[in-house]
Amino acid sequence: MIVVTGGAGFIGSAIVWKLNSIGREDIIIVDHLGQTEKWRNLVPLRFIDYFEKDDFLREIQSNRIGQSPKIDAIIHMGACSATTEQDATYLVHNNFEYSKELAVFAAGKNIRFIFASSAATYGDGKKGFTDDEEVLESLQPLNMYGYSKQMFDIWAKRNGILKLSVGLKFFNVFGPNEYHKGDMRSLVLKAYEQIRSSSKLQLFKSYRQDYKDGEQRRDFIYVKDAVELVIFFLLNKNVNGLFNVGSGVSSTWNQLAHAIFKAMSVEPKIEYIDMPGSLRDRYQYHTCADMNKVRAMGFGKQLMPLETAVEDYVKNYLIPGKTLGT
């Protein structure tokens, strides 16, 4: 049996979709649905049970779950992923304390534990983007979200959890099932909506002389490729530690924008707008995942080029309004 926390969310529901595609339905989904539209992601998926996150925590604290059938793995994707969240106490409780509870439970029961970290832990990138655990403590995230992930990564290392589990540093993931994420949706979805309504796209201006407007760079990875990496770690139980989940390619926002216009068969028209002042000092101008470590562990699958992934997302999901599995 596999537990997927955040299983109604973006990456979590994509993981369940992928598990279903390889014949796994013995899945418990843990999430907090609240008043969001996340429930729509669950409709086409196959699983045996669902718990709200606080209820699930009480279940493991009281040792009422995981005996029969046995839990083989916990894939912990549940977290507040808003990079703009200002409530540090909430982030500590949700992203750090909750993760510690699950990690201790998994270690005590010899359960495979795979958890979501973030490329936000790398901060401005001056320390590089290499998933080397030896430099973990030197990283300086630019926002509290990234720091909450960094806190757990360091705790997991110092308490021996990383020797028993896998932490995944997700870069800029995009794709179907992100519809509920509000401001945290990818540019692909936001751009699709903008272009459909106005035939143009707005991008932030650059505030550094070494980057022209729209030339800020990101490592974009399609969610279908991201979950392939998750499954790789699920199946290869002898591989542990922190690993990047990215494409290994750095693309500009302009390149992404042109790929979206092309997929929509619309002539490109980009307008550069002011970046909110609250973001200017905490903005990443360049990210690119070093994928050598995971490749050395045996992950050989070729990932989709950006333009191909954008085309699949736009034409097969956004235009027809579909989620994964529908």
Q: What is the largest CA-CA distance in the chain?
A: 60
Pairing of strands 73-76, 217-218: unpaired
Of 145, 179, 313, 317, the active-site residue reads: 145
| Residues paired with 207 in a beta bridge | none
Distance CA 246, CA 254 (A): 19
Structure tokens at 40: 């729509």
- Specify the residue for token string 């994707």: 77
Of all helices (H) and strands (E), which one includes residue 201?
A: strand 201-204
237 is known as an active-site residue:
no
283 is known as an active-site residue:
no
- Residues whose CB falls within 8 Å of the CB of residue 326, separated by 6 or more in sequence, listed in order: 43, 44
Structure tokens at 214: 């729209």
Distance CA 246, CA 299 (A): 13
Of 109, 181, 190, 293, the active-site residue reads: 181
Torsion-angle region of 201 (φ positive above 0: left; ψ -120 to 50: alpha; else: beta): beta
Amino acid letter, 266: V
CA-nearest of 26, 31, 35 to 13 is 31
Distance CA 58, CA 7 (A): 18
Q: Which residues are catalytic?
A: 145, 181
